[in-house]
Amino acid sequence: MVIVESAGISDIGKKRETNEDRIVVDDAMRLYLVADGMGGHQAGEIASTLVVTSVRDFLMGKGPDNTVSLPDGRLSLPAGRLLAGIQWSNAIVHQTAMTRVDCRGMGSTVAAVCFADATLVAANVGDSSIYLVRNGGIDLLSVPHTLQAEIAPEARSAYFSNVLTRAVGPQPVVEADICELSCYKDDILVICSDGLSTKVALLEILSIVTSRAPAHACRTLVDLANERGGDDNISIVIVRVADIQRNRTSTLTRWVGQLKHRLLSWGPTHPAH
């Protein structure tokens, strides 16, 4: 089991009248999310709220059908469940947008991290980011779904960087990018909306999250984004892996099962004397 220290902040910023970002920091579920809503009037905050509540509800077993099919057998069950939760949230946001006039065209990004045993799963739709800080370096785990990233990576244009090619809600179905990997003590996960990632450089994020506790680092980074204009809502969740406790029971169960299998397989060819 992964033992973590975590914190999160969602800030309205300096220029927006409402905060359309939503976050989840749930140590009991080992679930951490950032959703950045988009849409006119209050539709953006409705979309992001639906995303975080529906993903969380699904992982708590409150979905309509919690059976999960794992594509090509490549994903673990926790990864498959997170992916299914995002797909279910997409259906909810899309249905709401189709039935409510004031929500037409709304959508949201989602960047999510969950833990299972000694593994972390990271999934995203849109341009909210997930970074992994490990061994003095920082790497992007999420895949940015923007025109700039997918069509014109060399362009330095606000238009290209602000146009999403994928979001939760606008279409009946959505494809999330997902990865899973082993995690280790002192790993740090940083999940943030573009209100932070466009204002603070990667090396600055690295320096701050490795030198401060998660709560202090969150506050420092949000303040820095606001000092640099605060043009958008600013949300960040930081999760530090404090320790990893191996599940001895499950390890023993696997060992006994393997031993049984070997004893049974010896039966026909190794008769007792």
On whether the CB atoms of residues 85 and 55 are closer than 8 A, the answer is yes
Domain membership flag for residue 97: yes
**What span, in angstroms and rounded, lies between the C-alpha atoms of 149 and 152?**
6
Position with higher pLDDT, 217 vs 267: 217
Instruction: With CA atoms as reference, report the closest residue to 48 among 37, 32, 33.
Output: 37
pLDDT at 62: 85
Taking residues 74-100, report their average pLDDT.
93
Domain membership flag for residue 180: yes
pLDDT tier, 265 (very low <50, low <70, confident <90, very high otherwise): very low
**Residues paired with 22 in a beta bridge:** 35
Render pLDDT for 176-189 as a digit per residue (tens, 0 to 9): 999 999 999 999 99
Position with higher pLDDT, 216 vs 265: 216
On whether the CB atoms of residues 212 and 220 are closer than 8 A, the answer is yes
pTM over 0.85, yes/no = yes
* Total domain count, the chain: 1
Domain membership flag for residue 224: yes
Is the predicted pLDDT of residue 250 greater than 60, yes or no? no
On whether the CB atoms of residues 242 and 7 are closer than 8 A, the answer is no
Which residues have C-beta within 8 Å of that of residue 151, sequence separation ≥ 6?
Answer: 160, 165
pLDDT tier, 154 (very low <50, low <70, confident <90, very high otherwise): low
Is the predicted pLDDT of residue 263 greater than 80, yes or no? no
Taking residues 217-228, report their average pLDDT.
98
Total length of the chain: 273
Q: How far is CA 143 from CA 60, 120, 122, 126, 150, in A?
A: 26, 16, 10, 8, 10
On whether the CB atoms of residues 247 and 9 are closer than 8 A, the answer is no
Is the predicted pLDDT of residue 47 greater than 50, yes or no? yes
Domain membership flag for residue 193: yes
Instruction: With CA atoms as reference, report the closest residue to 110 among 56, 60, 69.
Output: 56
Q: Which of 48-52, 95-99, 114-118, 269-273 has the lowest mean pLDDT?
A: 269-273
Taking residues 104-120, report their average pLDDT.
95
Domain membership flag for residue 119: yes
Domain membership flag for residue 272: no
Q: How far is CA 247 from CA 1, 2, 122, in A?
A: 7, 10, 22
Domain membership flag for residue 273: no
Taking residues 143-153, report their average pLDDT.
83
CATH of the domain at 42: 3.60.40.10
Neighbours of 252 (CB within 10 A): 10
Structural domain range at position 40: 2-266
Is the predicted pLDDT of residue 164 greater than 60, yes or no? yes
Rounded percentage of the chain residues whose pLDDT exceeds 90 = 74
The mean pLDDT value of the chain amounts to 88
Domain membership flag for residue 271: no
Rounded percentage of the chain residues whose pLDDT exceeds 70 = 82
pLDDT at 149: 84
